[in-house]
Amino acid sequence: MHLLVVEDDDSIGVPLQRGLERAGLSVTRVRNGRDALDAGEVDLVLLDLGLPDLDGYEVCRQLRARSAVPIIVVTARGDESDRVLGLELGADDYVVKPFGLRELVARVRAVARRSVAVDADAPQTIGTLVIDRRTRRVHVGDHEVVLTPREFDLLSYLADEPGTVIPRQRIMDDVWDPHWYGPTKTLDVHIASLRKKLGDPRLIRTVRGVGFGLEEPV
């Protein structure tokens, strides 16, 4: 997932970018509103309101007017009126400084999942792989692949970030449960089953000691 971080304060922006990158996210950082509006396409925007050129609310309004990209406002303005205005202008979430990095990353992932769910009626195509979240059906080419509910959830989750290696623990927390006390080997079992059913073990890449990623079929 590629994030645009709009933050002019280096004492916040530098460690924030490093922390997000350690969490496995790709980050482009800009320091003002005009650069934010001129930036290329990204998957999600983290937007500070106190910018040196444009008011952050105006940046939010312009971004939303031209794009459905998810926006999380990250600011020191914690009044209810500020929150309401930010959300009314199109922000998807509102985080008040100071915040914990783990909480912010969780919010980023939650907003990203919701944005995918909004378009759940449209099947997702990755190469010859087609995932229909509305009907919970999967096809590889003309062949329908019958999956268990958990296998479908796992494949759908990996497909949210195709090409990205997702850490094992994050998969367990999000697809199973943060309080899962069963063997973590269950993830390997489900991955092996998915590979077999999809017909090409290369579709799901393993990075030892890290996690798994869905690759585009060739």
Q: Residue 177's pLDDT is what?
A: 64
What does residue 78 show for φ and ψ, rounded to 5 degrees?
-105, 5
Within 8 A by CB and 6+ apart from 143, the residues are: 199
φ, ψ for residue 193 (rounded to 5)?
-65, -40
pLDDT at residue number 87: 83
Taking alpha carbons only, the member of 174, 33, 36 closest to residue 110 is 174
Q: Could you count the other beta carbons within 10 Å of the beta carbon of residue 186?
A: 13
Give me the pLDDT at residue 16, please: 92
Q: How far apart are CA 197 and CA 133, in angstroms?
A: 18
Question: Residue 95 and residue 77: Cα distance in Å, rounded?
Answer: 9
| The pLDDT value given to residue 65 | 86
pLDDT at 58: 92
Rounded CA-CA distance 42/19 in Å is 18
Cβ atoms of 211 and 168 closer than 8 Å: yes
pLDDT in tens, 180-196: 555 568 899 999 999 99
Q: Which residues touch 38 (CB under 8 Å, ≥6 apart)?
A: none
| Helix 56-66 with 80-88: angle, nearest 10 deg | 30
pTM: 0.58
pLDDT tens digit sequence for 106-141: 888 878 876 665 555 678 888 889 999 888 899 998
Q: What is the pLDDT of residue 51?
A: 92
- Using CA atoms, how far residue 95 sits from 1, 8, 83, in Å, is 19, 17, 9
- How much is the pLDDT for 162? 82
Domains of the chain in sequence order:
2-118 (3.40.50.2300), 124-214 (1.10.10.10)
**pLDDT at residue 4, as a whole number:** 95
Going residue by residue through the chain, which has 218 residues, state the pLDDT in tens, using 9 for 90 and above.
899 999 999 999 999 999 999 888 899 999 999 999 999 889 999 999 889 999 889 999 899 888 888 999 988 877 878 778 888 888 888 888 888 888 888 888 878 876 665 555 678 888 889 999 888 899 998 999 999 989 999 999 898 888 888 888 888 888 886 555 555 688 999 999 999 999 988 889 999 888 999 987 55
